[in-house]
Amino acid sequence: MSTPQFDLVIRGGSVLDGLGNPAFEADVAVKDGIIAEIGAVAGSGAEEIDATGCLVTPGFVDVHTHYDGQATWENHMAPSSNHGVSTVVGGNCGVGFAPCRPGDRETLIAVMEGVEDIPGVVMAQGVPWNWETFPEYMDALAERALDVDMAVQFPHAPLRVYVMGRRGAEREPSNEDDRAQMRALTTEAIQAGALGVTTSRSFSHRRRDGELAPTINSELEELKALAGGLRDAGAGVFQLLPDLAAADFADELDVIEALAREAGRPLSFTLAVSHSKPDLADRALARLASLNAEGLKITAQVYPRPIGVLFGLDLSLHPFALKPGFRALEPLPLVDKVEAMRDPVLRARLLSETSDDPNPLLLTLCESWDDLYALGNPPDYSPGPEKRLGAIAAREGRTVEEVTYDALLEDEGRAILYRPGTNFIDGKLDAARKLVAHPASIIGLGDGGAHYGMICDAAYTTYMLTRWTRDAPPDEAFDLPWVIQAMTSRPADLVGLGDRGRLAVGFKADINVIDFEGLTLEAPRMQRDLPAGGKRLTQRAQGYRAAIVSGQVTARNGVATGALPGRLVRGARG
């Protein structure tokens, strides 16, 4: 019997190369983790996959995740790896775990708990803290074997605390020496392999006790120090979460422009459409087009559906969670919570009480009664106005509080309620579609590895393939080759990972085999598999026949094979 010529051959699939070209039927052969041949492959593979009737695409690249902690205690970067993602980029929004002196660990945990909804006990037990500097953190990640590749960025919040100590945590202004150190450490991080530097200006980023994250209110000169670190390194990207609620978003765009000019490097920032400022995105994208025409490289990171919050009795929040009468129930198992809430006396008390919490964002979320919907299974992320709990209450002659209370108890307390926020104007997805289609935008904001009990957005790749492609009305549908490019080569190129995100000979063999017609997105569900018994939302899909990273099959039909070829990616790749 002859020796196989290739490690893997995928036969007879409809190949989409990730560069926007039309699909074509071909075989794809892999050798030593690299695509070796595309076409009518005569040689055999040690392993072969029949892809007849399936799409064969590059692995998806998610440039906006928060797996910085999860990658240190777990091998599977789920939910992202459940949805065809083969490369994730962490360290976004200025938060992370390095650099960090031992005395500052609790501060960083408090920031991550509040900003990214990761339980403090999970981080205290799960994060090994076998580093102090950022290069040492990267060395620790380099020892990890994962089911996807991971790259990281240098976060501003831990840097600020590392350089300034308590002054940094309490958001005192930095001095010239502080900024010089931040600039030098940014350069050091890029030289060690960080893809970029990140920060947040959003007043929604708070610790659980309501205190703002360390980066909020940082002066422009301090942000310019980070940009200067990129310029000194001659590499890297700048990622920023602006204050989308700013009285005049033009001021935020001024900051973005100043940082892009200071760094001389690509910059991306979060952009979404809200009810209060429906024209903000149009104005921002028009300015980006003008700045990019001058030679700057500024990209808006956008999301293809409403960015919303999930509520449930077993999740981090629900509309009764901050009421005094519920606090005693919080530690109880779900079954006991449900039994207690069925008591008429407690029901009456909770329906009459006022929520109380030091965090204004959480109060706002829990008091938004009229904007709630039942998510359902399969999940409905763009529900009609008739499905709003407030509308149901009006039809039934009850209060919205009563309808919400009963909805939370459905499915033995496992029901999930959904509050769509941005990108959902007048009950339509037009705003989301416009954001995705704009040439100055890139799809991102999946946030995998964070918001364990409130948000589950890492499945946007599956959503793009179903809602916006296969299932969309003809006048709304995106072209399939364009969608694949938007989730592969374009995000890869944004952060400098030009060795992936495309199917071509000589490129990295990160590949998906997808049953396009059978692709189905399931509703999020809660599972308890984090350190210290912590729980998190996860989401799965049916239809991913095979997920391949560096030429190794990591999952078949959504079931992990045990292969862990994913590694830390250091620096830009040509």
pLDDT, tens digit (0-9, with 9 covering 90-100), for 121-174:
999 999 999 999 999 999 999 999 999 999 999 999 999 999 999 999 999 999
Quickly state the pLDDT bin for 365 (edges 50, 70, 90).
confident
Tell me what the pLDDT averaged over the chain comes to: 96
Q: What pLDDT is attached to residue 192?
A: 98
Query: E strand or H helix at 9, and its extent?
Result: strand 6-15
Amino acid at 318: H
Angle at 504 between CA 266 and CA 58, to 5 degrees: 70
Phi-psi sector, 58: left (phi>0), alpha (psi -120 to 50), beta: beta
Asked if residue 378 has a cis previous peptide bond (ω within 30° of 0), the answer is yes
Structure tokens at 371: 């904007």
For 452-465, what is the mean pLDDT?
97
Burial 117-154 (b: 16+ CB within 10 A, else e): bbbbebbeebbebebebbbebbebbeebebbbbbbbbb
More confident: 308 or 56: 56
- pLDDT tens-digit series, residues 168-193: 999 999 999 999 999 999 999 999 99
For 534-541, what is the mean pLDDT?
96
Contacts of 494 (CB under 8 A, 6+ apart): 63, 237, 266, 268, 299, 442
Burial 373-389 (b: 16+ CB within 10 A, else e): bbbeeebebebeeeebb
Q: What pLDDT is attached to residue 1?
A: 56
DSSP states of 67-119: TTTHHHH-S--TTGGGGTEEEEEE-GGG--S-S--GGGHHHHHHHHHHHH---
In this structure, how many other beta carbons lie within 10 angstroms of the beta carbon of residue 332? 13
Contacts of 290 (CB under 8 A, 6+ apart): none
- pLDDT tens-digit series, residues 214-226: 999 999 999 999 9
DSSP states of 126-170: H-----SSHHHHHHHHHT--BSSEEEE-EEHHHHHHHHHTHHHHT
- pLDDT tens-digit series, residues 264-282: 999 999 999 998 898 999 9
- Tell me the sheet residues that pair with 27: 39
Structure tokens at 47: 């392993």
pTM: 0.96
Structure tokens at 391: 């509308």
Nearest to 452 by CA among 193, 221, 121, 230: 121
Quickly state the pLDDT bin for 367 (edges 50, 70, 90).
confident
For 197-218, what is the mean pLDDT?
95
pLDDT at residue 407 is higher than 70: yes
Contacts of 415 (CB under 8 A, 6+ apart): 312, 313, 374, 407, 408, 409
Domain ranges of the chain: 309-420
Quickly state the pLDDT bin for 368 (edges 50, 70, 90).
confident
Structure tokens at 443: 């799809």
Quickly state the pLDDT bin for 369 (edges 50, 70, 90).
confident
Contacts of 374 (CB under 8 A, 6+ apart): 387, 389, 407, 410, 415, 416, 417, 418
pLDDT at residue 470 is higher than 60: yes
- Tell me the sheet residues that pair with 87: 61, 149
- pLDDT tens-digit series, residues 486-521: 999 999 999 999 999 999 999 999 999 999 999 999
